A and B are shown apart, each in its own frame.
Chain A
Amino acid sequence: MSRVPFYLRDRLEALNERVLAERFEASKLPTWERVLLTWFTLLAFWVVITSSLEPASVVSGAVVTLIVALFMRDLLTEDIRRSGHIAEKILYFALIYLPQYLVIMAFRLLESNLKVAKNVIFMDIKPGIVKVKTDLHSDTGVTILANSITLTPGTLTLDVKKKLGETYLYVHWIEVETLNREKAGEKIKGDIEEWLKKVFW
């Protein structure tokens, strides 16, 4: 990209941004689904936090969370993709995607704890900062990916940078195995990115 003249590069960036924005607008959820999802999430949180199932508490919580959800509908669910009916979507998410993610992350957390213990005992570290490309564009997806990378064995996210519609992560790796960007990406991200691409934009 560095050899392209300046005017062409500006035009290319503008075009890329417009294409991305149009694809983003086309894959958004409808408004009422966003309000409904935010409302259910907030209501579940309210019930757990107050820890009472009396009708007065639940009804007042439902009214307040509905008002909040009407204003804040874009905050939580803006980056979720659209596919199929809403009931199908919720069932898929609750029965397949969420347990899959929890199982993957539980085993990775266990492995990373054991690996830190091994590193502490033997001190066999060779740290380095590598750059990794991701296919995700949305803020929520990149946030969850960065947090998952921090919890996977031997890696810690340093910074996120967006350039020309592509997202790059700078990862501090405690034992550098390869400098090739694709191989390092496969080793660091694993199957979490594939999982995230099904749900988030």
Chain B
Amino acid sequence: MLEVLLLFGEAVMLFGALGILRFPDVYTRLHAASKCDTGGAMSIILYLVLTMDAPGIVKAKFLVLAFLIAMINPMVSHALARGAYRYGVKPEVVVDMYAWDNP
């Protein structure tokens, strides 16, 4: 029954990879990368924690890993998006309020 978590994580990772291939520009690709990596990795780690044959303190280590992934992944995607914008990659958007305020 718990294999649903593993399957869900793998499917989400697959859709994230597809999104990186199919979306048009940097920022929309970062959407796919950040969200799908976080969700898929956390779901796989949750499956491991629930089914692993190990003492509880080792499972707590896995939970620390999940916490670090959930903290660092959005930060890295934010840094990449801001760096790309500062470098001059133009987004394909309908409205760009960031360019209005930073001419």
> A residues touching B (Cβ–Cβ < 8 Å)?
45, 47-49, 51-53, 105, 109-110, 112-113, 116-117, 119-120, 123, 125-131, 146-147, 150-151, 153-154, 156-159, 161, 170, 172, 174, 176, 179
Contact = CB atoms under 8 A, between A and B. Distances in A.
Contacts of B18: 120
Interface of B: 11-12, 15-16, 18-19, 22-24, 27-28, 30-32, 34-36, 38-40, 42, 57-58, 60-61, 64, 70-71, 74-75, 77-78, 81-82, 85, 91-99, 101
Given A113-B36, A128-B96, 4 more contacts: A45-B64, A48-B57, A120-B22, A129-B95
A128 B94 contact: yes
Given A109-B35, A116-B36, A151-B70, A159 B82 contact: yes
Contact of B77 (A49, A125, A156, A161): A156
Given A48-B60, A48-B61, A157 B78 contact: yes
A151 B39 CA distance: 9
B101 A131 contact: yes
A146 B81 CA distance: 13
A109 B70 CA distance: 10
Contact of B91 (A52, A126, A129, A147): A129
B57 A116 contact: no
B92 to A, nearest CB: 7
A48 B101 CA distance: 46
Contacts of A174: 28, 31
Contacts of A147: 71, 74-75, 78
A169 to B, nearest CB: 10
Nearest to A112: B35
25 contacts: A51-B61, A110-B39, A113-B12, A113-B35, A116-B35, A120-B19, A120-B32, A125-B28, A126-B94, A127-B94, A128-B93, A129-B98, A129-B99, A147-B74, A150-B74, A150-B78, A151-B34, A151-B70, A153-B35, A156-B34, A157-B74, A157-B78, A158-B81, A158-B85, A158-B98
